[in-house]
Amino acid sequence: GPESESFTLAPIGYVESDYPDKFGIPRQPGLAPAADARLILVPPYNDPLTVRGLDDFSHLWVTFIFHQSPERWTPLVRPPRLGGNRKVGVFASRSTHRPNRLGLSLVKLAGIDTRHGVQLRLEGCDLVSGTPIVDIKPYLPWAEAHPSAQAGFAPEAPALLHVIFSQSALDVLTTRADSATLHALIEQVLSQDPRPAYKRGEAPGHTYGVRLRDVDVKFRALQNDEATTLEVVAID
């Protein structure tokens, strides 16, 4: 019967993004709008005819493979949103460890280049560079937006942390042609608190590293009273 058939997917393209590593990537699209990416179609899908009419849409659904996740999956997962200690069903989560390893992100389309094959410019995507893409569809807000929908254990956007930059980090930024967008990208990514849930209690002063674009960002947590601030210590 149909339930025992299997289906083969071949990527139609791949993403080149501001995220060289999984670590630090916001957990959903749109949370770091300064993140740029290119979705590069590969033959035979890189024919400009495949995207005719797409430039009239502002947002796209991108289906992709969590290629950096193991094929192994379990029925229960621990969403970071629940502090990493409560479990929900894999199909009640957006976990990257799931059967078929399919991901789905709603992203902003910033433009289409058809000079050499087909490249879509995306804003705010949550994909590691190199992610294989298996489909693209235009987003239909009148059918697909449900602002008052109930969202289980993730009812609203996570609270943002305050982010500050050391003088030496600011000095590095001023030397760069992309200083404004890189500053925004670092601030948006760190404000999501990329520290692993189980490490948040770690010794104050512990330095974490996250790679964004072509730089290595070193940061640490500063704790005063109830509030945590992340400080960008260095940009290399």
DSSP-assigned beta bridge partners for residue 164: 231
For residues 59 and 172, which CB has a smaller minimum distance to ligand SAM in the complex?
59
Residue 64 near residue 105, CB atoms below 8 Å: yes
For residues 52 and 198, which CB has a smaller minimum distance to ligand SAM in the complex?
198
Count of residues touching ligand SAM (by CB under 6 A): 18
- Closest listed residue to residue 120, CA positions, set 199, 38, 195, 176: 38
For residues 103 and 235, which CB has a smaller minimum distance to ligand SAM in the complex?
103
Helix (H, G, I), strand (E, B), or coil: what is residue 61?
strand
> Among 27, 81, 211, 220, which residue interacts with ligand SAM (rule: CB under 6 A)?
27
Q: Are strands 162-165 and 227-235 parallel, antiparallel or unpaired?
A: parallel
| Contact stretch for ligand SAM (CB under 6 A) within 5-13, 96-104, 133-141, 215-223 | 96-104
- Nearest distance, CB of residue 187 and ligand SAM, angstroms: 17
> Among 12, 25, 133, 235, which residue interacts with ligand SAM (rule: CB under 6 A)?
25
> Among 18, 36, 123, 126, which residue interacts with ligand SAM (rule: CB under 6 A)?
126
Rounded CA Rg of the chain: 19
> Among 18, 35, 105, 133, which residue interacts with ligand SAM (rule: CB under 6 A)?
105
Q: Tokens 């433009």 belong to which residue? A: 111
**Residue 123 makes contact with ligand SAM by CB under 6 A:** no
The binding track of 197-226 with respect to ligand SAM, each residue x by CB under 6 A or -, is ------------------------------
C-alpha separations of 105 from 41, 60, 72, 192, 193 in Å? 17, 8, 22, 18, 20
- Nearest distance, CB of residue 114 and ligand SAM, angstroms: 25
- Closest listed residue to residue 192, CA positions, set 5, 17, 9, 32: 32
- Nearest distance, CB of residue 172 and ligand SAM, angstroms: 25
Amino acid at 134: V
| Contact stretch for ligand SAM (CB under 6 A) within 38-46, 101-109, 134-142, 169-177 | 101-109
**Cα 116–Cα 118–Cα 122 angle in degrees, nearest 5:** 120
By CB under 6 A, what part of segment 46-75 binds ligand SAM?
Answer: 66-69
- Nearest distance, CB of residue 94 and ligand SAM, angstroms: 4
Q: Which residues contact 23 (CB under 8 A, 6 or more apart)?
A: 194, 210, 211
For residues 80 and 117, which CB has a smaller minimum distance to ligand SAM in the complex?
80
Strands, DSSP E only, in 18-146? 36-41, 59-65, 76-77, 88-89, 102-113, 119-123, 132-138
Residues that bind ligand SAM (CB under 6 A): 22, 25, 27-29, 66-69, 94, 96, 103-105, 126-128, 131
